[in-house]
Amino acid sequence: MAEGNRTAIVTGGSRGIGREVALRLAALGYDIAIVYVGDENEAAETVAECRKAGVKAAAYVCNVASFEETKETVSQITEDFGSNIAALVNNAGITRDGLIAMMSEENWDSVISVNLKGAFNMIRHTARIFIRNKGGRIVNISSVSGLMGNAGQINYSASKAGIVGLTKSTARELAAKGVTCNAVAPGFIRTDMTKNITEDNSELLRTIPLGRMGEASDVADAVVFLLSSPYITGEVLRVDGGIAM
């Protein structure tokens, strides 16, 4: 790996799971570049929190669905932080749920573009940096929806199943360059994305063997583990309280 301070890029790092991952990595001494799309206040808060750990941190507005914007953003990050990008966490994601018989083309396209193409775009523009550095770690956030399917989420589960294929192919392609690529598949995690789901719903609880929703910190634990594991690649680690076992 290249010398100098290590930088981690976390997409969707302004809120929820991404924020938790950014804070954990900052505490481990990584400089942090977060990518977000619109929530400036939340992004500024994450950056301020990361800086408290004594590391460099900055936020970049970038729609991960855009090939050009992600290219420019990665280039800006390397200009600002140097080329020792050690980790990429593809966490940005959205839901636009609906039944297949009613789903609009727009809701299909937007979810696939952000969740799946977004991860492709970021890997596409960082791969050469990792190869040049002779190492790097990529973690992509999938979902149990991508492993099991979920009624009302064909767009989302297709995007998250796509993440599994993208992860394994990237892992195979970049292994010889010292780059690992893994995925984490969360179940129901308490964030803005699941704010309409409550644990009062006993139907939901019955589907979770461990009997509770997960916290962003549960997912961050898995991300940090995979980022620190040199001999694990192409793995999909479920963090779901046992839902998809």
- Residues assigned a catalytic role: 156
Q: Where are the beta strands (DSSP E) in 50-98?
A: 57-61, 85-90
> DSSP states of 5-19 as a string?
--EEEEETTTSHHHH
Compute the distance between CA of residue 105 and CA of residue 112 in angstroms, rounded to an integer: 11
Nearest to 141 by CA among 218, 230, 210: 218
Closest CA relative to residue 75, chosen from 1, 134, 126: 126
Within positions 145 to 184, which residues make up the interface with ligand NAP, using CB under 6 A?
none
CB of 1 to ligand NAP, least distance (A): 27
Residue with Cβ nearer ligand NAP (18 or 136) = 18
- Whose Cβ is closer to ligand NAP: residue 93's or residue 136's? 93
**Tokens 């609009």 correspond to what residue?**
104
Shortest separation between residue 201's beta carbon and ligand NAP, angstroms: 14
For the bound state, the minimum distance from the C-beta of residue 100 to ligand NAP, rounded and expressed in Å, comes to 19
Phi and psi (nearest 5°) for 184?
-115, 135
The reply on whether position 85 binds ligand NAP by CB under 6 A is no
| Binding status of residue 189 toward ligand NAP by CB under 6 A | yes
Q: Does 17 bind ligand NAP (CB under 6 A)?
A: yes
By the rule CB under 6 A, 16 interacts with ligand NAP: yes
- Residue 60 sits in the site that holds ligand NAP (CB under 6 A): no
Question: Would you say 65 or 227 has its CB closer to ligand NAP?
Answer: 65
Q: How is residue 135 written in tokens?
A: 């190492």
Q: CA 222 to CA 186: how far, in whole Å?
A: 10
CB burial class (10 A; 0-12, 13-18, 19+) of residue 29? exposed
* Residue range at the interface with ligand NAP (CB under 6 A); choices 22-30, 51-59, 131-139, 186-194: 186-194
CB of 37 to ligand NAP, least distance (A): 4
Instruction: Decide if residue 54 touches ligand NAP (CB under 6 A).
Output: no
| Tokens standing for residue 23 | 């804070």
Q: Is residue 37 near ligand NAP by the rule CB under 6 A? A: yes
Query: Does 218 engage in binding with ligand NAP (CB under 6 A)?
Result: no
Rounded distance between C-alpha atoms, residue 131 and residue 89, angstroms:
17
Instruction: Verify binding: residue 193, ligand NAP, rule CB under 6 A.
Output: yes
Q: Does residue number 14 form part of the binding site for ligand NAP (CB under 6 A)?
A: yes
Task: Provide the minimum distance between the beta carbon of 89 and ligand NAP in the complex, in angstroms, as a whole number.
Answer: 10
Over the window 88 to 117, marking each residue x when it contacts ligand NAP by CB under 6 A and - when it does not, the resulting string is: ---xxxx-------------------x---
- Print burial letters for 161-180: b (CB count within 10 Å at least 16), e (below 16): bbbbebbbebbeebeeeebb
